[in-house]
């Protein structure tokens, strides 16, 4: 599903280059649950954001299904991103000024889905995640676990094929973290490919493969 060949990212400081990712070659198949692990500053999140097309300043080849992402312009990449990806952040990144319902509605509205259809999808997701009672609350009225639950619901609301999760339990206590990981597992069992960045060995065990990164290199 995803193939990376010789992907590199670096920052230039005058004549010198500081590499963040070096000669990354990796393949992720459809339906996999992959954990990217490594020490702080290793390049895990950079790789995840590169996969999620938040970053366009890199070299190498990136194939997603039959799309050669490295050959596609920024605008078309955004269309592909909207079609295939959902993103979950460590610090949730819910929009403070919107209610739970509106936070779920936002990704759909950016995909030009009609209001009636959006309402139906959002209600369905609220129901699936058992947060119907919280639909009119604002993020600051929710606990951390509840916020991350909403963030995951928001990530899957547009039925992406791939979920990218950057330390999704990093700000949660262990019980909440466990619930979130169970949720990811369930989504993976339902056919969604999941790629997470984590420091946590136990969270990595929910997946079926680990990619280790150190100093920008894949180490195994």
Partner 1 sequence: MNAFLQDIRYSARMLAKTPGFTLSALLALTLGIGVNSTMFSVVNAVLLHPLRYRSPERLAILLSESTTKNIQQWPVSDFDFDVWRRENHVFEQVAGLGQQGFNLTLGSEPERVGGVLITANYFDMLRVRPAIGRNFRMDEDQKGRDPVAIISHGLWQRRFNGDRGALGRPLILDGTSYTLIGVMPPDFMRLEDEDVWVPWVVNLDDPVKARGRRGMVVFGRLKDGKTFREAQTEMSQIAGRLSAAYPESNKDLGVRVSSWESMQISDMRTSLIVLWSAVGFVLLIACANVANLLLVKANARRREVAIRLALGAGRFRLIRQLLTESSLLALLGGIIGMLPTLWGVDLIRRSIYDPSGETKYIAVDGAVLGYTLLVSLFTGICFGLLPALTATKTELSEMLKQGSARGSVSSGNRMRSAFVVAEISIALMLLIGAGLVLKSFVKLRAVDPGFNASNVLTLRLSLPANRYGTVDTQGAFYRDLLDRVQALPGVQNAGVTSELPIVGGQDDTAVYFPGKKEESGLANATIIHYSTVSPNYFAAMQIHLVAGRGFNDSDTAKAPPVAVINDKMAREYWPNANPIGKNFKTGDKWWTIAGVVANIHHAGLESKPTPEIYLPYQQFPSPSVHLVVRTMERQGSLVVSIRQAVLSLDRNQPIYEIRTMKAGIEASLNLQQVAAGLCGAFAVVALILATIGIYGVMSYVVSQRTHEIGIRMALGAQQQDVVRMVVGRGAWMIAFGLAIGTLAAAGITWVLTDLLFGISATDPSTYAGLAAFLAAVALVASYVPARRAARVDPVIALREE
Residue whose CB is less far from partner 1, 182 or 198: 198
CA angle 196, 199, 204 (to 5 degrees): 55
Residue whose CB is less far from partner 1, 111 or 209: 111
Rg value, the chain, Cα:
18
Residue whose CB is less far from partner 1, 31 or 123: 123
Tell me the two tokens of residue 57.
Answer: 């300043």
Tell me the two tokens of residue 194.
Answer: 């999941």
Cβ proximity of 119 and 101 under 8 Å? no
Residue whose CB is less far from partner 1, 143 or 208: 143
- Minimum distance from CB of 213 to partner 1 (Å)? 15
- Minimum distance from CB of 177 to partner 1 (Å)? 17
- Minimum distance from CB of 90 to partner 1 (Å)? 7
Residue whose CB is less far from partner 1, 93 or 161: 93
- Minimum distance from CB of 171 to partner 1 (Å)? 9
**Contacts for 181-189: CB closer than 8 Å, 24+ residues apart:** 181/206, 182/206, 183/149, 183/152, 184/33, 184/152, 185/33, 187/152, 187/156, 187/163, 188/31, 188/33
Pairing between β-strand 33-37 and β-strand 193-197 as defined by DSSP bridges: parallel
Backbone angles phi, psi at 197, to 5 degrees: -100, 130
Tell me the two tokens of residue 49.
Answer: 């954001």
Residue whose CB is less far from partner 1, 75 or 220: 75
- Minimum distance from CB of 101 to partner 1 (Å)? 12
Backbone angles phi, psi at 157, to 5 degrees: -60, -30
- Minimum distance from CB of 208 to partner 1 (Å)? 26
Give me the residues that bind partner 1 (CB under 8 A), please. 45-46, 49-50, 52, 54-55, 75, 78, 81-82, 87, 89-91, 93-98, 106-107, 109-112, 114-115, 154, 158, 166
């Amino acid at each position: 599903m995803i193939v990376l060949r010789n992907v590199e990212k670096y920052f230039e400081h005058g004549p010198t280059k500081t590499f963040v990712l070096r000669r990354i070659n990796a393949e992720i198949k459809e339906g996999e649950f992959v954990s990217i692990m490594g020490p702080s500053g290793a390049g895990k999140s950079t790789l995840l954001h590169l996969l999620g097309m938040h970053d366009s300043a890199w070299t190498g080849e990136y194939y997603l299904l039959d799309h050669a992402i490295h050959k596609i312009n920024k605008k078309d990449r955004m269309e592909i991103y909207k079609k295939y990806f959902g993103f979950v952040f460590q610090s949730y990144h819910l929009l403070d000024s919107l209610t739970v319902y509106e936070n779920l509605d936002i990704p759909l509205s950016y995909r030009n889905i009609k209001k009636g259809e959006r309402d139906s999808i959002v209600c369905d997701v609220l129901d699936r995640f058992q947060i119907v009672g919280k639909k009119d609350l604002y993020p600051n009225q929710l606990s951390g676990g509840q916020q991350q639950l909403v963030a995951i619901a928001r990530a899957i609301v547009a039925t992406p094929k791939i979920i990218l999760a950057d330390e999704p339990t990093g700000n949660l206590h262990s019980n909440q973290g466990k619930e979130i990981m169970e949720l990811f597992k369930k989504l993976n069992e339902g056919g969604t490919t999941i790629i997470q960045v984590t420091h946590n060995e136990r969270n990595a065990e929910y997946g079926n493969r680990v990619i280790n990164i150190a100093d920008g290199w894949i180490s195994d």
